[in-house]
Structure 1
């Protein structure tokens, strides 16, 4: 009997109009009395049969002589794992013995995968039941979030955990601004009947705009935590088949999982002129986008096409995350000063929290929240560094903190926007970009509250 390996070599070694059809015919010739339930899909893992078997506690045995692997890096486990190019495995499902034959190949820019479930039975019902179970499991979230990257959708636990840690208590925003954002989200999901009664598609778009570092991403995480709907996060729409395919795949998945929140970060760089028309067709819902709340962010709204930016029913409401006013900077500094005291590191300020927060707010005009955070991180690292060298701190903690303000201020590039210029009145007309960011400091702080 001809082996599966030789069959694959024969069928894929020559030009064929339909390799999947030829493989299925060949396998039916190899196993003429058996049932065959076959699928053909993109190589993106939409049908993770092995992960399902692991989840269900069903043991399986790869037939090594017929299995050929390539090795890839698995982000979830941070390890190198085998991925079958062609292979055969055997297992028992609900008392029925199955053999699964798999082959993958490339066609133009597309990677394809063929899987055939072969078993004995009076009909193909058992195979279809297994496929349904795998698809249902693959499309269910278990403390995970959907993420679109590298041309396909995958489920991420780490991002889900980060969202679960996010609360509005950690975010400094104007109260009316914050409540408006929460109200828009809550009202959308509770108003399906109103949309239907008006004959309007139940969909909505929110656009969060403004200079970087002022709370757009953190606000989205807080919204996702507060409202327990499926969350779909798009990192990039680029795929091996082009960004147009990515746009279609994003919205098809969102429609499948509605009601849901679809997050598109950095919309200005994501939707280029090349894909604008595809994006407009999808967001306008030639296929009904029922139950999809799209939340997009941009640091540069001036780069977004007017057809996207200013057309109702695409992004209905815009929230401007401008640079914080003196009042908000004071509130942010107060929160962080209290965090410093809570660390119980022996740091003693001569001034009260209120006095220090006011002084910081006065000296940080045109600073973003992200840069204010780096002020406190760099302050703590400076003290930790001095202590690690066995040095006694010469300056009082107050002076060290305010000295850090002066040093970091040199790293801000103030950019005029329009005719205005940032002045002492806190007009939201400037922006600050960090020339050098304390990425290492942020990672240290988030991993552990500094053992000083």
Structure 2
């Protein structure tokens, strides 16, 4: 009777107390007794992207259809279907050696398991190890991508990479001293390995970007990542995993250490760091020699919610940059940039500000207490209003008597101002946090500033063929 991989899986997963990886490997070794064997067990598909790597070598595996079972999944980014094999067999030739690979995917005790079992001829398993290492090496190389940790696993994001590549310091409104300090602290760290060694201290550093939302912490990070070459960028969205935040923190720092030198981004640290994970996070970030070459950049909208042992301990985050609400001259500079963008589109919109400098002064005067996010909303909502009125005219609908575009823009300022007042009233009504008193005077070094805001876009991720 011929061997059936499907029957083997049915037997193992119907067992009362199964140990699938052990029993599947033993059965395959018995069925292919004359072959060499090598097994790979991973917790998520992207760790061992066999099909994707073979594709780079122009190797097209031959799937054993009778033994292969798959689902049709949908990639929201490309709007294409792709096959996800959860049990199957495939054949291919690599380095003049014929391989047969068995794959099985299952979940046990909230853990995902992806088993790849390679069989191949040879006097030893060296060719199999060569292939496995090549797949792992390729998987760990960034190819116009950024590492993103979410949902308990690391994935590569091309969208975030593109967003970073489009970031430009020239588009960021900053006081020169603030900008230069932030850039210098990043550049000098990666150029100072020998200096750290000469002083007998671990080559690691932590920067904390803090301040109210909408004042540019994320856009600053994107600009820093864009100009910092030769290091791995790692972006963390959440510590959460199926086994809790401690497991996530362990995976994150293990990955950072294996990819050093690197920039480890922890965005919205206050929301990620739950009480039960605090001690574990402190142990990992202290890391001593294990954290060589890691520059940790964390952001928070609410520093008062972060434990004092993290916020004010010099060895953890020794520099704090405070992204405060923009001053009048910065609001004017921001408005001038946006007015220039609007004027650049005048050929298509018919909208032109004849005296942008005066208009920017008026906006700056009326927007005290506004964040950059609200200033951006002002211009976006204004352009939407222009587009709406234009579409009405094209359909022959009546449009209210036109005012000057300057007057319309000032009306938009007044409307948004009401929303800001309500937001402040809501914030004032919320109970104060007693920990807020710990923020400020005890910072090691604090730099005041704000800038153009933004948010990275992280794709949902795709599947692999086998």
Give the TM-score, by structure 2 length. Answer: 0.87
Q: Distance in 2 between matches of 1:401 and 1:131?
A: 61
Q: Distance in 1 between matches of 2:306 and 2:273?
A: 8
Distance 1:393 1:319, change over 3 A: farther
Q: Which residue of 1 aligns with 2:159?
A: 158
Q: Does 1:117 align with 2:125?
A: no
Distance 1:76 1:47, change over 3 A: farther
Deviation of residue 73 (structure 1)?
4.0
Q: Which residue of 1 aligns with 2:358?
A: 355
Contact 2:264 2:294 in 1 (8 A): yes
Contact 1:44 1:151 in 2 (8 A): no
Q: Secondary structure at 1:89's aligned position in 2? A: strand
The equivalences for 1:37-436 within 5 A come to 37-74=38-75, 77-228=78-229, 229-285=231-287, 288-344=290-346, 345-349=349-353, 352-390=355-393, 391=399, 394-412=402-420, 413-414=423-424, 415=427
Contact 1:37 1:127 in 2 (8 A): yes
Contact 1:43 1:104 in 2 (8 A): no
Q: Secondary structure at 1:389's aligned position in 2? A: helix
Q: Distance in 1 between matches of 2:318 and 2:288?
A: 18
Moved more, 338-347 or 199-208: 338-347
Q: Which residue of 2 aligns with 1:423?
A: none
Q: Which residue of 1 aligns with 2:462?
A: none
Higher relative contact order (CA 8 A, sep 6+): 2
Q: Distance in 2 between matches of 1:74 and 1:150?
A: 17
Moved more, 48-57 or 400-409: 48-57
Moved more, 78-87 or 359-368: 78-87
Distance 1:76 1:237, change over 3 A: farther
Moved more, 36-45 or 136-145: 36-45
Deviation of residue 157 (structure 1)?
0.8
| Root mean square deviation of aligned Cα | 2.2
Moved more, 369-378 or 101-110: 101-110
Distance 1:309 1:78, change over 3 A: farther
Contact 1:102 1:114 in 2 (8 A): yes
Deviation of residue 76 (structure 1)?
5.3
> Where in structure 2 are there 5+ consecutive unaligned residues?
394-398, 438-446, 458-466
Q: Secondary structure at 2:276's aligned position in 1? A: coil
Contact 2:36 2:120 in 1 (8 A): yes
Q: Which residue of 1 aligns with 2:396?
A: none
Contact 2:202 2:288 in 1 (8 A): no
Deviation of residue 109 (structure 1)?
1.4
Q: Distance in 2 between matches of 1:71 and 1:305?
A: 46
Task: State the aligned residue count.
Answer: 423
Deviation of residue 43 (structure 1)?
2.8
1:134-178 Cα distance to aligned partner (Å, 9 max, x none): 011000011111111121111111110110000011111111111
Q: Secondary structure at 2:314's aligned position in 1? A: coil
Q: Secondary structure at 1:172's aligned position in 2? A: coil
Q: Distance in 1 between matches of 2:199 and 2:16?
A: 55
